[in-house]
Amino acid sequence: MNVTRQSAACSLTLCALVSFMACASTPPPKTVYQNVRTAIQLHKDPQAGTGHSHPANLQVEQMVRVLSGIRVQKDRQAVHRMLAGEEDTVAAFTVAEALTLAPHFSKALSTAKPDELVTFYRRVSDASTSLAYTTGGLFMREGLLYFVLANYRQSPSDAMSLGIPAYEIDPYDVPLMSLRRAGYNVTFSPKEAEVHPVADQWQWNFPDKGKLVVINPVLVFRGPGPSSLRVPAGPSAVR
């Protein structure tokens, strides 16, 4: 694909996602939690069809286990894969993030309507990066949890591949817009809890298919959780 066609494809993907999240006929999102770095909201989902399984009752401890199991595997160039193998997976959320975000995610799912999904937006700034974004969404459907990690510690400069000046990018209003196509795949641990829908099953379409993982909560909660995790008594401020 030449540069012109690639830019056109990226632009079409961007337009589709912006339309998905910010169509003029779509009501504004409902904010469940917000501070200077984090926003958790309920958005109308045009793909909901007959409706998601909302409101959903996922306990805080269960949500901590889910967030702790979300893994990211960065893509390697073909030559690098031949020499060094596949990239190791890393946790998408730190222990602190899992503990503090889980109560708000659980509350959002418990108040979501069948035609809504939960979205999250997080600004990251630490010793390794001056500014990055982690964003995405989740919903329950027929006993399965669909989790999209649209951006994982993504820098605003990554949006330049979509033909957008970096200074204009902040995915607050469009948390399901990937600032960079591909770049990584999302998996889950334990692996047996990850579901791969077959052709005749209902499917939720996302342009970057590798950033969507479907989880069977029943299989997540069979085994003991990480001993380092202690669930807070109630929702706490996300720093």
Cis ω before 190 (30° cut-off from 0) = yes
CB burial readout 10-22, b (16+ within 10 A) else e:
beebbeebeebbe
- Model confidence, pTM: 0.81
Cβ within 8 Å of residue 101, ≥6 positions away: 38, 40, 63, 67, 93, 120, 238
Measured CA to CA, the distance from residue 158 to residue 232 in angstroms comes to 35
Give percent of the chain above pLDDT 90: 57
179: its two tokens: 């600032």
Q: Give pLDDT, residue 28.
A: 93
Sequence-ordered strand ranges (E) for 155-203: 184-188, 194-195
pLDDT at 115: 97
CA distance 198 to 79: 31
Most confident of 19-33, 99-113, 122-136, 223-237: 99-113
More confident residue, 162 or 128: 128
Provide the 3-class DSSP secondary structure of residue 44: strand
Higher-pLDDT residue of 120, 25: 120
Q: pLDDT tens digits for 72-105?
A: 998 754 334 444 445 589 999 999 999 999 999 9
Place of tokens 């964003």: 135
Please report the pLDDT score of residue 224 as a whole number.
56
- CA 113 and chain centroid, separation: 19
15-19, 147-151, 176-180, 203-207: the lowest-pLDDT one: 15-19
Backbone φ, ψ for residue 173 (5° rounding): -80, -20
Which one has a higher pLDDT value, 228 or 94? 94
User: What whole-number distance in Å separates Cα of residue 64 and Cα of residue 96?
Assistant: 10
Q: What share of the chain is helix, strand, coil (3-state, %, to 5)?
A: 30, 30, 40
